Amino acid sequence: MKFTLKIWRQKNAEAKGAFVTYEIDDISPEMSFLEMLDALNKGLVEENKDPVAFDHDCREGICGSCGMYINGHPHGPVPAVTTCLLSMRHFRDGETITVEPWRAKPFPVIKDLMVDRSALDKIQTAGGFISVNTGSAPEANSILVKKHDADEAFNSGICIGCGACVAACKNASAMLFVSAKISQFALLPQGRIEAKERVRSMVEKMDDLGFGNCSNTGACEAECPKQIKLTNIARLKREFYKAL
């Protein structure tokens, strides 16, 4: 397969970036998008050119660090997958593919397709924890949790904090991420002790870091690789109003 790649190149957060066009061929449809970029970088290095910088780690769809904007979609045009699991078979032979970094003020560009997403870590640090007694493990049935609540908490807890929701939102809102972290604890009795302090601290930190408010368009849920639901945002708002 052969592709024309329009990739955003930017030296750092202060430098002016621009799209650079590359032609690449001999790409197997079985390759992942990151493997395709590896092949591109191999050719650039052999030509003594600066390779394209991009984030990656596990390459198993777990960490979310591979996030980039591909043809107008965070992580690419295929729903519920991260960029590292995006197969080149989902693109047409000869297609032009446009690749950009996340576009959000709280995510400054480090270089090329790499952005600083530590803002999400700061929100998590602000209140995404619970206080428990140390020592031996408690009796398994000492705190009973309804199955529905446990399932909902788990479904919220699988958020990987990749930032796709922020990149998809026209307001660069982090509310889907924050609401998932709030729901993860709000649904369980262990998280009720610090519930008011948690939601106030995390929302305040989100606002301080420059994230926008929810746009109510649903783009975040549509583009989330872990399919975190919008209902979490409703729960976040309920928790916040109760904490006022």
Mapping DSSP onto H, E and C, the string for 128-146 reads: CCCCCCCCCCCCCCCCCCC
Alpha-carbon dihedral of residues 205, 207, 211, 214, nearest 10 degrees? 120
Do residues 86 and 74 touch, judged by C-beta distance below 8 A? Answer: no
Has residue 191 got a pLDDT over 80? yes
For residue 185, CA distances in Å to 107, 113, 145, 175, 178 come to 26, 33, 12, 16, 11
Q: Please state the rounded mean pLDDT for residues 80-107.
A: 97
Q: What is the mean pLDDT of the chain?
A: 95
* Percent of the chain residues topping a pLDDT of 90: 90
Domain 117-243 grouped into CATH 1.10.1060.10? yes
Query: CATH number of the domain at 3-110, out of 3.30.2320.30, 3.10.20.30, 3.40.190.80, 3.40.50.620?
Result: 3.10.20.30
CB 153 within 8 A of CB 188: yes
Residue 159: what pLDDT?
96
pLDDT tens-digit map of 120-158: 999 999 998 888 777 888 787 888 899 999 999 999 999
Q: Domains of the chain: which residue ranges?
A: 3-110, 117-243
pLDDT of 61: 93
Residue 5 has pLDDT above 90, yes or no: yes
| Other Cβ atoms closer than 10 A to 147 | 7
* Between 74 and 140, the higher pLDDT residue: 74
Residue 156, CB-side half-sphere exposure with 13 Å CA sphere? 28
Q: How confident is the model at residue 203 (pLDDT cuts 50, 70, 90)?
A: very high
What integer pLDDT is reported at residue 144 of this predicted model?
87
pTM score of the predicted model: 0.93
* 41-56 residue pLDDT tens: 999 999 999 999 999 9
Lowest mean pLDDT among 79-83, 129-133, 176-180, 218-222: 129-133
| CA pair distance 59, 87, nearest whole angstrom | 12
Across 91-178, the runs of DSSP E, i.e. the strands, are: 96-100, 109-111, 114-115
Q: Is the dihedral of CA 46, 48, 54, 58 positive or negative?
A: positive
pLDDT band at 84 (very low <50, low <70, confident <90, very high): very high
Say yes or no to pLDDT of 172 above 90.
Answer: yes
